[in-house]
Structure 1
């Protein structure tokens, strides 16, 4: 009985830890900047098949809800969604697969821009910079740890644009709950490249 109780307690603690860490990452290197135009940058995940995989489908949905959740002072018509990702090994690109899913399955009819050359997170940021320079607000969408890494890379490459970063809707309480501890462990490993000031929760 005690062993079962201990295992249950450990499981609940692991879930709570994963939830908290993902929540925290979603609030690092972002502000509450106002404006009349927004770019929502959705980062692709390796996808060696002719249709969007589970992770890319989720990222597209998170990207589109980041459009509809735009603050009231921003006209959704002035929001562009940028899908970023290069060749997927199946004769297409991650960007195109995500755009196709957004259009054909989710019936998104807003402004879509493709960045289809990137193969790394650093390249994602480098290649979307020309597409986001003229907007007031920037949202980067991925799993929270990956999105944080991308925001840190934007801060390194273009701190003036990083000042425009605001929160995306890529974190929700209870979403991916059972795998959040694994996402947290993987996130800690991938974020080891960040400096201490790139890990600070925005005020």
Structure 2
């Protein structure tokens, strides 16, 4: 009896983890504008910040920044890292926390900050003037949140959304414990978006 219960629990946990991973995988490839693999002359990677209570990047922000850095095309010309987020949960803006972590990770390209936004809509709205000259744009967060950001860009500036390429925010088996919750929140948020 105990053995069956353990097998059932393990099966349910595996099903939840695999379902969440698949939801993120599908989201990472939706609402894109450009599917070219050609190296862009200039590329902007927009990293959406997450509530950060202190002045050092928390686990979620560290993951998002690493995903942002690996999203750059290896042969891109100019690289612009656009970091978004105001001081929602702490004294230092999420953008500044992400910037400090980007420097610690050795990023040497251009860093542009949006230190005022408090919502995903504001992240994208405030990022627009920072990404206008980029030939390629990637929005990075957890995959479902990044898709929400892309949906907002399609609403705000379809001309810029045409430049959207897939970021590297999804890898199978990565952030396994966060993906189920992020999938539930992300799917709920995407379902609430008004039709385009």
CA distance in 2, matches of 1:152, 1:17: 22
Residues 161/101 of structure 1: CA separation in 2 closer, same or farther (3 Å cut): same
Larger RCO: Structure 1 or Structure 2 (Cα < 8 Å, ≥ 6 residues apart)?
1
| Structure 1: unaligned runs, 5 residues or longer | 198-203
Matches within 5 A, 1:47-196: 47-67=52-72, 70=73, 72=75, 74-75=76-77, 78-103=78-103, 105-195=104-194
CA distance in 2, matches of 1:189, 1:174: 22
Match status 1:7 vs 2:5: no
CA distance in 1, matches of 2:143, 2:150: 10
TM-score, with normalisation over the residues of structure 2?
0.90
Shift of residue 107, structure 1, vs aligned partner: 1.8
The aligned length equals: 191
Instruction: Report if aligned partners of 2:83, 2:114 keep a CA contact under 8 Å in 1.
Output: yes
CA distance in 2, matches of 1:130, 1:185: 31
SS in 1 for 2:178: helix
Shift of residue 5, structure 1, vs aligned partner: 2.6
CA-based RMSD: 1.7
> Where does residue 22 of structure 2 map in the other structure?
20
CA distance in 2, matches of 1:7, 1:15: 12
Shift of residue 89, structure 1, vs aligned partner: 4.9
CA distance in 2, matches of 1:32, 1:118: 29
> Where does residue 201 of structure 1 map in the other structure?
none
TM-score, with normalisation over the residues of structure 1?
0.87
Which portions of structure 1, spanning 4 or more consecutive aligned residues, are displaced by more than 6 angstroms? none
